[in-house]
Structure 1
Amino acid sequence: MRDVARLAGVATSTVSRALANPGRVNETTRRRILAAAEQLGYVPNAAARNLRVGASNIVMAVLSEPAIANGASQIVPEVLQTVAATLSDSGFNLLIAGRSRSAATETHIPDLAVGGIVRGAILIGAAEPPSFGRRSLAGAGIPVVSVLQDRSAAGIPSVVGNDREAMRDAVLHLIGLGHRSFFYIAGPAGSYHEAERFGGLADALAAAGLSERAVVRHGGGHSFQDGFQSGIRAARAYLARERRPTAAVACWDGAAIAFMSTVRAQGAAVPGDVSVLGFDGVPVGAFCEPPLTTLRQPTAELGAKAAEMLLALLDGDAAAPPLKTTLPNRLLVRGSTAGPRNARA
């Protein structure tokens, strides 16, 4: 650092401020320091810095085990991308910790928090705050934020999409097209997203004065990673019905895509015989045949907001963020939905 200061013509303390807190140094000086550091190949020693300032600059993202291997869905990677970018802009690095099915192998997660290696944590999706023995992430004394899953009831600030409201509005759109019978492909039993999204469909039926008998519910797989197989099984059950609903609504896009492909292969027209609605807005949906109508999650906004909330908690002088922040999903109307050929009760 002294060599960088000498080459840039500034004090060593100015170099330290420029690298640790860029906003405290004017832009011209900061650029001169960065150029000198690059010329000399200088990289700050993070461990030494942590010892000096008494605080880590590492934030941990905790994932459920299969969060990345998610079939068609890129929701978790998209959220992670903006979490990492937002933290990086404030001088923090992101450490990704994946959960396993063996509690004994998860000791490293609370240990990182209790040992002061990480400054805060973000729970992604279905990841639970891990614990081992008397050590736990929730009790480690560091800020924790949840994204994609509402944990506000447990006192954890959460950033989520408006899944229930968005599904309600999307099903009302289908009802407005003339649909009165629905085939619902359920997500994993006990899932937060399944409860919210099916709740939205039920709300739409009630708002339109339709009976709960207007929906046939199928599925409830073990995980969202089972999406393609869930969609195939649902399609077979749908095709076996003597009286088929005119619209299929899937809890997530992977199931919707597999459902649509399977029924089409058996001669059912989409959207002529059955309209198909998904949820998540995965990019591949736009390239299906026909393109999938879906609800797009605001992944970039969710990740950025979760990171901003954690940064606010790390800043002791900032006001505490709200326990729950809800961002809107967006309906993408494409070729997989249209009015039914024949109105059926």
Structure 2
Amino acid sequence: MRRRTAGPGATATIADVAARAGVSTATVSRALATPDRVRPELVELVMRAVSESGYTPNNSARTLRTQRSRMVLVVVPSVANQMYAHVLRGIDTGLAPAGYGVIIGNLDNAPNKEGRFVDFAFARQVDGVILLCGFVPGSHGRSMASAGLPMVSILSPIVDSDIPDVGIDDHAAGREAARHLARLGHRRLGYAAGPREHVVDTARWTSFREGALAEGVDPADIVRIEGGEGMRYTYRSGVAAGERFLAMTRRPTAVFCGSDEIAIGFMKVMRDAGVSVPEDVSVMGIDGIEQTDYTHPVLTTIRQPRQDLGRAGAELLLGMMDGRSDAAHRRVRLPFEFLARASTGAPPAEAAGRISQDLAPARMG
């Protein structure tokens, strides 16, 4: 049987691809639209035929036919933050094999931009939504949740909702930070806070405090240091927290920061003020962004598996968009990595001396 091919100068059609691959047009359509549902050897055969024939899929026609945009909206507080950049890469890696693209909804730390992205959802310009912002965007009395689209949150659970979410165990992370600092000998601990009443920041602060208490630290010696700039997870918040730290009459000897950016901003203020890290104050963060590898001293941090979080969130959303009921109420927690580095050490000699006296057993008369 003679193999059908497009003539010179003609535009290849899906029938040309099917004839070249020796399969039906329905198989070609499935291999292009949902390759995960077609045998790998058939997908490879179809893709080779597509390449040889020069066929270009008509995505617009497919969208009209299936009522799907093949796009996912990802709402991000700020694309300038490296934490989110790596999560985005993981999301794209997870969505691409299923033929989905990404629209980035950059709030740029300005919630008044929410309306535009709420409109995307209600206009069905996207098939699903991934939230990295820790809340459901709303505008003019409309909540994005009311658009009826599958929705997943990454990095932060959404308070008072049943939206599936992917993240780490922030309670365990806070306790681990307290344990590390207390076992270095610190008995005056500070927490440089992120956004007030943010569910993740609340988890990290409360668990840090609980962990310190479990290590025998006096409750009066565990302080929360508020940042500035709306208390976001930014360098500026770290600078503001550092300035407040310097104004204290009785400073903590170790500070756990609500993000790596806060920690880096905090350390800059210490350096500018001539306060040595870790000799005068130990500093640690959480996230594991690349800049922590290049700070001086190198920052102790808790590394989140950022790309894995993004990929897991994407796969969870794909399951919801495909109608899998097991994906609709899931809570996924991935392991974190604790990196003890040079920015944390024993407390200053004068503080250590007082601690040893406090902990010495009472002498028998």
Interval of TM-score (by shorter of Structure 1 and Structure 2): 0.7 to 0.9
Pairs within 5 Å for 1:175-214: 175-214=182-221
User: 1:234 corresponds to which residue?
Assistant: 241
Pairs within 5 Å for 1:5-84: 5-64=18-77, 67-70=78-81, 74-84=82-92
Aligned equivalent of 1:283, options 263, 271, 290: 290
Q: How far apart are the structure 1 equivalents of 2:273 and 2:106?
A: 40
Aligned equivalent of 2:337, options 330, 334, 341: 330
Corresponding residue SS for 1:201: helix
Aligned equivalent of 1:148, options 155, 164, 167: 155
Q: How far apart are the structure 2 equivalents of 1:270 and 1:25?
A: 56
Instruction: Note the alpha carbon deviations across 1:266-302, whole angstroms, 9 max, x for none.
Output: 3332212211111111111111111000111121222
Corresponding residue SS for 2:229: coil
Residues 141 and 262 (structure 1), Cα distance of their counterparts in 2 relative to 1, 3 Å cut: closer
Corresponding residue SS for 2:341: coil
Q: Is 1:96 the counterpart of 2:104 in the alignment?
A: yes
Aligned equivalent of 2:117, options 85, 88, 109: 109
Deviation at 1:175, TM superposition (A): 0.6
Q: Is 1:219 the counterpart of 2:226 in the alignment?
A: yes
Residues 10 and 191 (structure 1), Cα distance of their counterparts in 2 relative to 1, 3 Å cut: same
Which is worse superposed, 11-20 or 321-330?
Answer: 321-330
Q: How far apart are the structure 1 equivalents of 2:302 and 2:243?
A: 24
Which is worse superposed, 270-279 or 147-156?
Answer: 147-156
Corresponding residue SS for 2:74: strand
Q: Is 1:162 the counterpart of 2:169 in the alignment?
A: yes
Residues 25 and 213 (structure 1), Cα distance of their counterparts in 2 relative to 1, 3 Å cut: closer
Deviation at 1:180, TM superposition (A): 0.3
Residues 226 and 51 (structure 1), Cα distance of their counterparts in 2 relative to 1, 3 Å cut: closer
Q: How far apart are the structure 2 equivalents of 1:239 and 1:107?
A: 40
CA contact (8 A) 2:292 2:298 kept: yes
Corresponding residue SS for 2:190: strand
Q: How far apart are the structure 1 equivalents of 2:247 and 2:114?
A: 44
Residues 122 and 294 (structure 1), Cα distance of their counterparts in 2 relative to 1, 3 Å cut: same
Q: How far apart are the structure 1 equivalents of 2:19 and 2:337?
A: 54
Q: Which has the larger radius of gyration?
A: 2
CA contact (8 A) 1:231 1:258 kept: yes
Structure 2 unaligned blocks of 5 or more? 1-13, 356-365
User: 2:181 corresponds to which residue?
Assistant: 174
Q: Percent identity?
A: 39
Corresponding residue SS for 2:191: strand
CA contact (8 A) 1:152 1:323 kept: no
Structure ranking higher on relative contact order (CA contacts 8 Å, 6+ apart): 1
Deviation at 1:102, TM superposition (A): 7.4
Residues 325 and 226 (structure 1), Cα distance of their counterparts in 2 relative to 1, 3 Å cut: closer
Aligned equivalent of 1:263, options 262, 270, 273: 270
User: 1:251 corresponds to which residue?
Assistant: 258
- Paired positions, count: 338
User: 1:124 corresponds to which residue?
Assistant: 132
CA contact (8 A) 2:134 2:153 kept: no
Cα RMSD between the aligned structures?
2.5
Instruction: Note the alpha carbon deviations across 1:130-175, whole angstroms, 9 max, x for none.
Output: 3445x54211222111111111631211122211221111211111
CA contact (8 A) 1:183 1:248 kept: yes
CA contact (8 A) 1:182 1:246 kept: yes
Instruction: Note the alpha carbon deviations across 1:196-240, whole angstroms, 9 max, x for none.
Output: 111122111221232221123322433466732333333333334
Corresponding residue SS for 2:172: helix
Which is worse superposed, 36-45 or 200-209?
Answer: 36-45
CA contact (8 A) 1:293 1:332 kept: yes
Residues 47 and 131 (structure 1), Cα distance of their counterparts in 2 relative to 1, 3 Å cut: farther
Corresponding residue SS for 2:160: helix
CA contact (8 A) 1:189 1:222 kept: no
Which TM-score applies when normalising by structure 2? 0.83
Q: How far apart are the structure 2 equivalents of 1:242 and 1:23?
A: 62
CA contact (8 A) 1:248 1:277 kept: yes
Which TM-score applies when normalising by structure 1? 0.88
Instruction: Note the alpha carbon deviations across 1:250-281, whole angstroms, 9 max, x for none.
Output: 11111211222332343332212211111111
Residues 127 and 98 (structure 1), Cα distance of their counterparts in 2 relative to 1, 3 Å cut: farther
Residues 29 and 230 (structure 1), Cα distance of their counterparts in 2 relative to 1, 3 Å cut: closer
CA contact (8 A) 1:120 1:143 kept: yes
Q: How far apart are the structure 2 equivalents of 1:5 and 1:203?
A: 64
Q: How far apart are the structure 2 equivalents of 1:228 and 1:276?
A: 14
Deviation at 1:80, TM superposition (A): 1.1
Q: How far apart are the structure 2 equivalents of 1:293 and 1:116?
A: 44
Which is worse superposed, 326-335 or 171-180?
Answer: 326-335
